Amino acid sequence: MTAPAPLADAPRLADWVRIDEGRVTFLTGRVELGQGNTAALHKMAADALGVPVDAVDLQTARTDRTPNEGYTAGSMSVPIGGMALRWAGAALKALILDAAAARFDLPRAELNLAHGKLTRDGRDTGLAALDLAADVDLSIEIAPIGAPGPGPRSPDPRRPDLRDRMTGAPFVHDMTLPDMLFGAALHPAHPGQTLISLDLDALAARPDVVEVVRNGAWVGIVAETPLAASKAADWARAHAEWQAAPEAASDPLAVIEAADSDPETVVETGDIHRNAGRWIETTIVRPYIHHGSIGPSAAVALWSDDKATVWTHSQGVFQLRAAIAATLRMPVDAFTLIHAPGAGCYGHNGADDAALDAVLLARAVPGRPVRVVWSRADEFRVAPMGPGMATTARAMLDPEGRITAFGVMETSAPHTNRPGMGPSPNLRAAAYLADPIPPALAADLPMTRGGGADRNAVPLYTADAVRLRKRLVQDLPYRSSSLRSLGAHANVLAIETLMDDIAVELGEDPFAFRLRHLDDPRARAVLERLDAETRADRTQQQPDGAGWGLGFARYKNSAGYCAILARVETEGEVRVTAAVAIADVGEVISETGTIAQIEGGLIQSISWTLKEAVPFDGASVASGSWLDYPILTFSEVPRIRTILIDRPDDPPLGAGEISQGAAAAAVSNAVRAALGVRVRRLPITRHAIIAAASA
């Protein structure tokens, strides 16, 4: 077994383990975003060491203590970060057993460590595992000690964070430090705008305002209370005069659809035009979408002696540290970033930008911490969005009804403008400071890293030839970046609706048609299980306007498998009433956590597919509140049943983003089954259905 990638940059046990007064703390560069990461990672480390979870601690990402594991993203926390902790735990266990054998002059083979106890030939020695931890040399490299086996089948881990999340104030938004001040920033509607005038003296005279900071077109307020900071910022917005925003197309999706630059060929296997048959084609258009976190972005910063400590809910504290340092032209080691729980985010939202706001304000009041909590309007108008996309998928069908070739054309705004990606900090305020660093043109993630716009754009189904091409549209004035599953949401939707359209035309069962084009036995097992679990439900006569639909994908074509069957009713607005999901994520570390991830992704995808679309006003985002941007409500959440195919002897594959595309396809295919109408432009609203039926 190959050692996990993080061990290349952090090879020593000391990079992953700290021992203080006999207490072992495991260190991880991953962060908790509300997805239950800490529970699963904690369990993997403790199980590998052979101790109960509560016998050891887990420290999540902070730049002064933990290894740099990049971003917590891409469903990679358990399969990569968790495996690194498993290797570290197993290495520590081996070294403890070596130390015990040496101390007591016993054969190493007679000793074992389980349930926190040191045993000899299965008998308790009376020694706790961690009594010998101080004898271990933590400078030893982990990889040469050898690969651990799968973790023991210990009970499902409890979420250590849930009680605080439900009854306390655990978020960075609620953080309180002595002598704390509160900040708010004034963000122009577009990063290219210049501040023409604002009476800073009048702003400084607002009640309880401590400091007003202007740096280029960026203005920030520090106040004694959150309310005072918010009211002062509202006053400043009402009285500021800005240079007009640049002109922009009235419909950015039309620009994306009409893009005609030479596409890049990403994948080409065989000649798609060599086969005989006829082409069947579909195009799916997805609008820009917001992250829609219920809590807006926030951060706390403390500036002292030309150094800053920042508490942030960023997904990549090391990358954010480098971006802030570059923005301020300061050394990286002047900043310590500590991850703190926040509203959660699957992708690049405003957390990193709020952190820079907090640093800029804290620098003006050294020695006093400043907490910044964005407004909802800031969250919608300033934070990066999930990009608009247009995916055309086509398949060549031979006379026997077999797909012989696939062609996919992907056109999208950028998905990868995170801090630390490319030559620019990619922080909003950095673009309009007096010494600005504008954002650089984004390069897409390569397919070797799962792809960006083209994620999941290569069909998993068998064919003689496949060609995937893409073009990035980078001249639109809207800020886009990573959002959960990146291009997979739209790409799986295009491929899976195409598969259903062909099955309908052939009069073939959608399960049977897909299985006829699948060689992967694990993919087949997921679909066959879903078929068996739902056959009775979907073969019942449905009332008018109701129907079932199927969606399937393997995330990134290399991670977890997920098949979903969804039922919709279409009287009034489309509503999903029930969904069944079958998933194969390899070894299941936490059953409840995995199910929660799949179901959370399914619900979010329903919201994207049926409701969400960012409105624009020229070059600016027009949504400022939930009234402008509806999302799925609690009363609209369907009944969901999720079944896991556990493979304890296989590596874990990750579950955080595997249901996004499959859920969208299941909903779209259910709408077609209910109404006989294919809606190709999201969201699938009543208006969109009428437009599609009239086309």
Beta bridge partners of residue 336, listed in sequence order = 309
- Residue 182 confidence (pLDDT): 98
- Residue 203 confidence (pLDDT): 98
In order, the DSSP letters of 231-295 are HHHHHHHHH-EEPPPPP--S-HHHHHHH--SPPEEEEEES-TTSS-SEEEEEEEEE--B----SS
Nearest to 607 by CA among 290, 345, 380: 290
Half-sphere exposure of 99 (CA within 13 A, CB side): 19
Q: What is the C-alpha separation between 594 and 592, in angstroms, rounded?
A: 6
- Residue 189 confidence (pLDDT): 79
Q: What is the pLDDT of residues 133-173, one digit of tens each?
A: 878 999 999 999 988 987 677 788 888 777 877 787 789 99
Q: Are strands 298-304 and 639-644 parallel, antiparallel or unpaired?
A: unpaired
Q: What is the C-alpha separation between 661 and 464, in angstroms, rounded?
A: 24
Strands (E), 313-434: 335-339, 370-373, 389-397, 403-412
Domains 172-244+293-382 and 389-415+452-694 fall in the same CATH topology: yes
Place of tokens 């971003």: 71
- What is the DSSP code (8-state) at residue 94? H
Q: Which amino acid is at 452?
A: G
The domain ranges of the chain are: 6-152, 172-244+293-382, 389-415+452-694
Q: Are strands 370-373 and 335-339 parallel, antiparallel or unpaired?
A: unpaired
Residues of the chain with pLDDT under 70: 151, 344
Distance between alpha carbon 328 and the CA centroid of its chain, in Å? 28
- Residue 164 confidence (pLDDT): 79
Question: What is the SS3 assignment for 39?
Answer: helix
**286 backbone dihedrals φ, ψ, rounded to 5°:** -110, 135
For the domain made up of 389-415+452-694, give the CATH fold: Aldehyde Oxidoreductase; domain 4 (3.30.365)
Place of tokens 């399937």: 552
Q: What is the C-alpha separation between 386 and 293, in angstroms, rounded?
A: 13
Contact call for residues 466 and 405 (beta carbons, < 8 A): yes
- Residue 440 confidence (pLDDT): 87
- Residue 286 confidence (pLDDT): 98
- Residue 10 confidence (pLDDT): 97
- Residue 481 confidence (pLDDT): 95
Q: Return the CATH architecture of domain 172-244+293-382.
A: 2-Layer Sandwich (3.30)
For the domain made up of 6-152, give the CATH fold: Aldehyde Oxidoreductase; domain 4 (3.30.365)
- Residue 250 confidence (pLDDT): 81
- Residue 611 confidence (pLDDT): 98
